[in-house]
Structure 1
Amino acid sequence: MSGLLRYLTAAVLVRGADSGASVGLLLLAADRHQPAATGGLLVAALTAPHLAGPWLAVRLDRARDRRRLLALAYLGYGIALAAGAFAVGRLPAAVALAAVAVAGACGPLLTGGLSSVLDDLGPGRRGRGWDALTYGVGGTAGPAAAATLTALAGPLEAVLTLAVAAGAAGALVVTLPLAGHARPEDAAGLRAGLAVLVRRGPLRRVTVMTLLAALELGALPVVAVRFGTELHGTAAAGATLTVAYGAGSLLGSALVTAWPLRGEPEVLAAWLFAAMAAATAVSAFAPAYAVAVAGFAVLGLLNAMSFTATLSARGRYAPAGALAQVFVTSAGLKVTSAAAGAALAGAASGLGGRALLLAAAATTGLAVAAAVVDGKLSPASVPAR
């Protein structure tokens, strides 16, 4: 098995485990008759520690053997997730939450941390398309596996299977042919690594677009339920909109894998985010449910393409000594922004689906406008690595 194939297999396994764990924990809490708030707290415990990403990124940038650190993180994720699952309903809730939080603390290395080592395998721009595809496949297959295994064997067994998948990913990662770090002391410190996102114009602009667009992406599942109900009369129709979005995302990832994006990543990202804003606004005025389904599919396609462009931008503009810090910090901030988007959409759901979609379109459009203005004010380019 080639290094790239091992990478992709590990990425699907670990990202599928991470995506499915939230669903599995919710189902497990319900099965053990826990208060509704417990399920939400478990999901929060799994996602909130992504804010610790920059500290883990520094260690990854400085590690002589990044494979070992990644493998330990994936093994730790699996063990902590399994421990939390066993504790739900059997031990005090604080014990289960603490164990799940330990798994969540490893989360940044499942996303941006793993993406930061891809260039060592030499797949070029096509590799970023493959990497984006693993997010789409993992994000779809993980929850589906959690639901299917729960129906067949039970929620505990489902979560334990996901934990084993994370451990298997660690076993694969440790075999990757990554280049060693001859001068780990040259890696940027935490403050310097974070400053890269602000001081380097292209990275700053791509990060701003990513974070503001993530507000929309986090809000979309909430908006879909409201919008689907308005157009078709049932909440299930909103789930169909979400499925259409996921299908479009998988198609977009496949397209950029087969035909890699060409051109300057920052420019590509700006055009694709602008297209997302336009597609969101058009979807808000969908006259019929079928049109809305098509609109959400287009949104998913554009999101996958823009995500690939942002991955390419991070790899192109990040300094070698802070590559992991750029990837992991960006990913952690994106997760946080998406969570804020979901919370805001929930709080403003009374406005209606169309209004929420227009607000989302305006937010993403504002991100592109801010990036364009920033580029005019500070046009100096940053050399690629």
Structure 2
Amino acid sequence: MSGLARYLTAAVLVRGADSGASVGLLLLAADRHQSAATGGLLVAALTAPHLVGPWLAVRLDRARDRRRLLALAYLVYGVALTAGALAAGRLPTAAALAAVAVAGACGPLLTGGLSSVLDDLGPGRRGRGWDALTYGLGGTAGPATAAALTALAGPLEAVLALAVAAVAAGALVVTLPVAGRAHPGEAAGLRAGLAVLVRRGPLRRVTLLTVLAAVELGALPVVAVRFGAELHGTAAAGATLTVSYGAGSLLGSAMVTAWPLRGEPEVLATRLFAAMAAATAMSAFAPAYAVAIAGFAALGVLNAMSFTATLSARGTYAPANAQAQVFVTSAGLKVTSAAAGAALAGAASGLGGRALLLAAAAATGLAVVAAWVDGKLAPAFVPTR
């Protein structure tokens, strides 16, 4: 198996485990007669620690062998997730939350941390398309696996299987042909690494696009439930919209893998996010349910393409001594922003699906305008590597 094939297999396994764990923990809490609030706390414990990402990224940038650190993180994730699942409903809630939080702290290395080593495998922009596809596959297969295994064997077994998948990904990562660091201490410190995101215009603008547009991405599943019910009269209709969006994301990832994006990554990202804002606004005016399904599928395609453009931008504009910090910090900010989007959409659900979609389009549109204005005010950047 080639290095890229091992990378992609590990990426699907570990990202599937990460996305499926939230579903598995919710099902496990319900199975053990825990309250919905407890299930929510378990999910929050898994996602909130992503904020420690920048500190982990410094360690990854400075590691002589990044494969070992990534593999260790995946092992810890699997063990901690197992401990949290075994403790849920059987030990004090605090014990389960603490164990799940340890797993969550490893989360940034499952996403941006792994993406930061892809360039060492030399796949170019096509590789970024493949990488984006692993996010889509993992995000789809993880929850589906959790639900299927829960039905077949039980929620505990489902979570344990996801934990094993993370550990298996770590075993594959160790074998990747990633170059060692002769002078790992030359990596940028935390403050200097974070400053890269602010001082380098293209990175700043792509990060701005990523963070503000993530508000829409986090809100869409909540909005879909409301919008689907309005158009079709059933709550299940919202799930269909979400499935359509996911299918579109997979299709978009496959498209940019087969036909890699060409051009300046920052320009591509700006244009694709602008298209996504426009498509979201148009979906808000869908006259019929079938049109809304098509609109959500188009949103999924555009999201996958814009995500691939942001991955390419980070790889192009980030300096070699801060690659992990750029990838991990951006991913952590995106997760946090998406969570805020979901919370805001839930709080404002009384406004109705159409109004919420327009608000989501406005958030992404604001990101595009802000990035465009910043680009006019800041000088161009020419990568030095």
- For 1:235 and 1:379, the matched residues in 2 are separated by 49
2-side partners of 1:167 and 1:363: how far apart?
Answer: 38
Residue in 2 aligned with 1:369? Answer: 369
Contact 1:75 1:166 in 2 (8 A): yes
CA distance in structure 1 between the aligned counterparts of 2:118 and 2:203, rounded to whole angstroms? 18
Aligned to 1:32: 32
Cα distance in 1, alignment partners of residues 311 and 185 from structure 2: 26
How much does 1:36 deviate? 1.1
Residue of structure 2 equivalent to 1:220:
220
> Partner of 2:177: helix, strand, or coil?
coil
- Equivalent position of 2:245 in the other structure: 245
Q: What secondary structure, in the 3-state scheme, does the structure 1 residue paired with 2:255 have? A: helix
Deviations 1:188-232 (A, max 9, x none): 000110111010000000000010000000000000000001000
Structure 1 residues not aligned, in runs of 5+? none
Amino acid at match of 1:352: G
Give the match for residue 264 of structure 1: 264
**1:283-302 → structure 2 map (5 Å cutoff):** 283-302=283-302
| 1:108 and 1:331 in contact (8 A); partners too | yes
Q: 1:199: which partner in 2? A: 199
Counterpart Cα distance in 2 of 1:181 and 1:51:
26
Instruction: Report the Cα distance in structure 1 between the residues aligned to 2:107 and 2:84, rounded to whole angstroms.
Output: 15
Is residue 20 from structure 1 mapped to residue 23 from structure 2 by the alignment?
Answer: no
Alignment of 1:173 onto 2:173:
yes
Which residue number corresponds to residue 161 of structure 1?
161
- Deviation at residue 241 of structure 1 after TM alignment: 0.2
Cα pair 1:113 1:324 within 8 Å, conserved: yes
Whole-Å Cα distance in 2 between the matches of residues 37 and 362 of structure 1? 31
State yes or no: 1:282 paired with 2:288: no
Aligned equivalents of 1:277, 1:124: Cα separation in 2 = 28
For 1:149 and 1:358, how far apart are their aligned partners in 2? 37
Q: Which amino acid aligns with 2:91?
A: L
The corresponding residue for 2:113 is 113
Structure-2 residue corresponding to 1:332: 332
Contact 1:200-1:382 within 8 A present in 2 as well: no
Listed as ranges, the matches of 1:48-127 within 5 Å are 48-127=48-127
Residue 315 (structure 1) aligned with residue 315 (structure 2):
yes
Q: Following the alignment from structure 1 to structure 2, what is the Cα–Cα distance between the partners of residues 216 and 301?
A: 15
Distance apart, 1:86 and its partner CA:
0.2
Distance 1:80 1:185 in 2: 30
- Measure how far apart 1:382 and its partner are: 3.5
Q: What is the identity, as a one-letter code, of the residue corresponding to 1:182?
A: A
Q: Where does residue 10 of structure 2 map in the other structure?
A: 10
In 2, Cα distance between equivalents of 1:122 and 1:68: 20
Identical counterparts, % of pairs: 89
* Structure 2 Cα separation of the partners of residues 185 and 137 of structure 1: 35
Indicate the residue corresponding to 2:348 in structure 1.
Answer: 348
Q: If the length of structure 2 is used for normalisation, what is the TM-score? A: 1.00
How far is the alpha carbon of 1:379 from its aligned partner? 2.7
Return the offset for 1:233: 0.5
Quick check: 1:269–1:306 contact (8 Å CA) kept in 2? yes
Q: Which amino acid aligns with 1:93?
A: T
Give the superposition deviation at 1:383.
1.6
Tell me the distance in 2 between the aligned counterparts of 1:121 and 1:2: 10
What SS class does the counterpart of residue 381 from structure 1 fall into? Answer: coil
Kindly indicate whether the alpha-carbon contact (under 8 Å) linking 1:229 and 1:235 is maintained by their aligned counterparts in 2. yes
Offset of residue 384 of structure 1: 4.6
Contact 1:316–1:384 (8 Å) recurs in 2: no
Q: What residue identity is the alignment partner of 2:296? A: F
Q: TM-score, normalised by structure 1?
A: 1.00
Runs of 4+ in 1 over 4 A off after TM superposition: none
| CA deviation string 1:336-367 (max 9, x = no partner) | 00000000000111110000100111110110
Structure 2 gaps, min length 5: none
SS of the residue corresponding to residue 180 of structure 1 reads: coil
